[in-house]
Structure 1
Amino acid sequence: MVRKMQLEKGDSLTKGYTSELWDFTCISVTQNNLQELKEIWARWNDEVKQLFYCNYGDLLLLLDIKVDEHLFRALAHFWNSAYSCFTFGKVDMVPTIEEYTALLRCPRVQVDKVYSRAANVQTFAKKLMKITGMSEKWVTAWIKQKGENKCIPWKSLQDHIFAHLDTKKKVDVFALSIYGLVIFPKALGHIDETVTDLFDQLDRKVTPIPSILAETFRSLSACRKVGEGRFIGYAQLLLAWFHSHFWKVDKVSYRVFSENYSPLKELVETSRRDDITEERWMSILQNLQDEDVEWKAPWMVPNEILYRCGDFDWVPLLGIWRAVGYTPLLMLRQYRSRQFIPTTQGLAQCEFSYKDDNYKRKIQEMSSAWKQIHRMKRFTVGVMATPKYYEWWSKRVNDNISEPGHENSQSIEEHIRVIPSELEIIKQDFERRNTELEKKIEQMEEEKMNLKLDVDVQKLEAERLRKGKTKAEEDLDSLKTDYKKLRRSMRTARLEKTLE
């Protein structure tokens, strides 16, 4: 049924389409200074930290993920806004709801309910009162106007976190600060009113990941269409997703991770090169092949895939400033499922701003669609894609994506692997040999000790046997003497009886 629908409805772009994207995109990924957030965390005791983990998963680990600006700028150039995906060489990929949920370890919140109720119409002040637990007077005193939006300075929230007596509220404000300063740094040093909309989803035990994806897609598309701009979104999480699929070190796809396993923590602790230029990253991504991709992230084991909502043939996403959509069926290989031709017709036209005409009606349509979601079982096969998919992909209208270059055919491992210096290699080899020799010496010492103990034991046993033999011989001689005496006595007694 799904395949038939795809073939009947066709592609998002039609023949003759002319791209309006620039050949090159200059993107800025300016981030806030996060040291103060780290210092607050360091002061908390284990009980408060555990409460934060229970409510917000691994959100805190984003503070330790360094944003590689060269890589990020290169990634932006390969964003295909018509299909809401990255097109690397001959490969289409995009972060998915399931992957982001697993990365942040927040599966307990309900993805399905993210848009199932009308948009919160509370004022910024009311939202802050609910989150901080403070009075309207306090909140109103700190609200500032910055451009078109209202916001609250980070310093005000910082002081509030230190002084708050309610642990739950303290944790909530800290999480709000991370979302405001890390994920959506639109107004540097301020928490924007739109961030509280995102936080409101968490407060309702609803994952904000679909909204985060919507803003990520929206911001990438906006930068591509104008050829420049500042990225507004989850830069750290997007890079974590990228490395999960492309950093081929210690493949662990066979491992079964426990509930306590944290993919973000492992990514934070993995050392990576940071001296690769934007141009070199462009060359790497431009020449990407199927075999360069770790299609399913090793920690990702989904049972079902969300692939459409309501009457939409894709998944509509309502962001903070704009609505977009993406097609999970285009990414089936990322779930280690067989890839077939996806339904994308109309996807390129589904994006709209909340300032457009009739945008409220469109929002209501998308919200209603999320009340009827469709999932499909993940299935694994030997062949990663159908022949018709490759045929469709080769004829698909490309949206201003650079053609692969042939001047550099190195694999991705050869491009980005960390190459140690000659001195480091000698040092590592010496340490390895030294460790092996130390183990051999320990083994020989142990064997020597065992042999020495064996000799002593054998000597004691031999001495015991010798003494036992001597004693047995003495007892035998004594028995022989007594026997002879008894025989003589018996003969003497019979002789005396005969004489009588």
Structure 2
Amino acid sequence: MESSWPPSSYDRIYEVTQHMVSAQQSERDCLAKDHISLLPERVHPDIKHNDFTDLLDIWERRKLAKMMGITPREVDQNLRKKGDNECIPWSFLRSYIMMHRDIEQGQLLMTLGIYGLVIFSKVLEHIEVEIIDFFEQVINKANLSPSILAEILRSLNYCRRNGEGRFVGCTQLLSIWIVSHFECKVKRFKKPFHPQSAPIIEFYESEWPENKTTEQWISKFQKLMRVEVTWRAPWMPCRLVLYKYEDEPWVPIMGPWGVINYAPIMVRRQFGSEQFVPMTHRLNTLEFAYGKPSFLKRIEGIAQAWKKTS
């Protein structure tokens, strides 16, 4: 059946806007005041018959053993259980890196440490086993951005639902995003994108206002006016924007621990376009954490859909 939706990406927004307005009026909003996301922050998988979850853990350990040139048994001997998480201590990897820092294996493990301790940090001074499988995809040149965004959104949603909690994610990147959008007065950091630019390096080389306390940030956000926000990152090139998945007006993004929906149409200002209130009907219908029954089949379907996206 041919989809009634416009193509998956847009440059002229009129037809997308009209379709969303019509759908929102008929289907209403799923993000009601007391709406709570169905995606759990923690997963407690039970032992399941004919499930591949346990096999995945074994495969991930073997991948790490292969990276380090050691046996899977040696990896198992250094595994640590931290709550619901199975982890590798940073001290174990660090000692290996120091002995092999001049060869590719040591450099590869150092990179794994950065991903596990900084970008996808969850357990202090430990790297979760799930990151090993994800890291292998990065080595194969998979795009890291959607996965970072997925875990940032999951953690922020958890804090929003509970009204408290510790942000679990790449705090360094979130800090850059906040400061560059709400404190962006540095001309050097506003220059247009070119292939040789490095926004993160330029961020740290630029002078910014002094660090604010938590109370100062809260006060700033409470008084923030629209004109004070730098909506569009100046280095972002103009291009078509992917805004839907199959016949739904949102895009599922996969992180190391779960899947969450993202609606790029909600942040059109960040692409330099006029913002409107989008439809949110069914936005909460495709959220799940890894370890749930049939999650591998659902991941496969999402991955196949992404491959069809040009």
Match of 2:263 in 1: 327
Match of 1:6 in 2: 20
| 1:78-108 residue CA offsets vs partner (Å, 9 max, x unmatched) | xxx79xxxxxxxxxxxxxxxxxxxxxxxxxx
Q: Does the 8 Å CA contact 1:330/1:342 hold for their aligned counterparts?
A: yes
Deviates more, 1:256-265 or 1:285-294: 256-265
Distance 2:28 2:217 in 1: 28
Structure 2 gap segments, 5+ residues each: 1-14, 39-52
Q: Does the 8 Å CA contact 2:80/2:86 hold for their aligned counterparts?
A: yes
Distance 1:234 1:275 in 2: 18
1:203 aligns with 2:139: yes
Superposed, 1:137-152 pairs within 5 Å as 137-152=73-88
The Cα of 1:185 is off from its aligned counterpart by 2.8
The Cα of 1:15 is off from its aligned counterpart by 8.7
Equivalent in 155, 165, 177 of residue 91 of structure 2 = 155
Distance 2:113 2:275 in 1: 40
Distance 2:265 2:298 in 1: 23
Q: Call closer, same or farther: CA 1:166–1:265 in 2, change over 3 Å.
A: closer
**SS of the residue aligned with 2:187?**
coil
Q: Call closer, same or farther: CA 1:255–1:148 in 2, change over 3 Å.
A: closer
Match of 1:353 in 2: 289
Match of 2:71 in 1: 135
Structure 1 gap segments, 5+ residues each: 22-80, 83-118, 375-500
| 1:144-190 residue CA offsets vs partner (Å, 9 max, x unmatched) | 33333322111111111121277222221111111111123322111
**2:171 counterpart letter in structure 1:** A
Match of 2:165 in 1: 229
Equivalent in 32, 39, 42 of residue 17 of structure 1 = 32
Match of 2:273 in 1: 337
1:283 aligns with 2:219: yes
How many residues align structurally? 280
**SS of the residue aligned with 2:87?**
strand
The Cα of 1:262 is off from its aligned counterpart by 1.6
**SS of the residue aligned with 1:324?**
strand
1:191 aligns with 2:127: yes
Match of 1:164 in 2: 100
Higher helix share: 1
Superposed, 1:410-489 pairs within 5 Å as none
| 1:282-329 residue CA offsets vs partner (Å, 9 max, x unmatched) | 232123222112222122214232222333321101222221111111
Q: Call closer, same or farther: CA 1:255–1:186 in 2, change over 3 Å.
A: closer
Q: Does the 8 Å CA contact 2:188/2:206 hold for their aligned counterparts?
A: no
Q: Which one has the largest radius of gyration?
A: 1
Distance 1:301 1:275 in 2: 29
Distance 2:126 2:298 in 1: 30
**2:75 counterpart letter in structure 1:** V
Q: Does the 8 Å CA contact 1:13/1:348 hold for their aligned counterparts?
A: no
Distance 2:188 2:233 in 1: 9
Match of 1:382 in 2: none
TM-score normalised by the chain length of structure 1:
0.50
Superposed, 1:232-251 pairs within 5 Å as 232-251=168-187
Q: Does the 8 Å CA contact 2:193/2:234 hold for their aligned counterparts?
A: no
The Cα of 1:254 is off from its aligned counterpart by 7.3
Q: Call closer, same or farther: CA 1:267–1:285 in 2, change over 3 Å.
A: same
Q: Call closer, same or farther: CA 1:207–1:242 in 2, change over 3 Å.
A: same
**1:14 counterpart letter in structure 2:** D
Q: Call closer, same or farther: CA 1:332–1:130 in 2, change over 3 Å.
A: farther
Distance 2:265 2:142 in 1: 24
**SS of the residue aligned with 1:182?**
helix
Distance 1:295 1:15 in 2: 26
**SS of the residue aligned with 2:252?**
strand
Q: Call closer, same or farther: CA 1:143–1:275 in 2, change over 3 Å.
A: closer
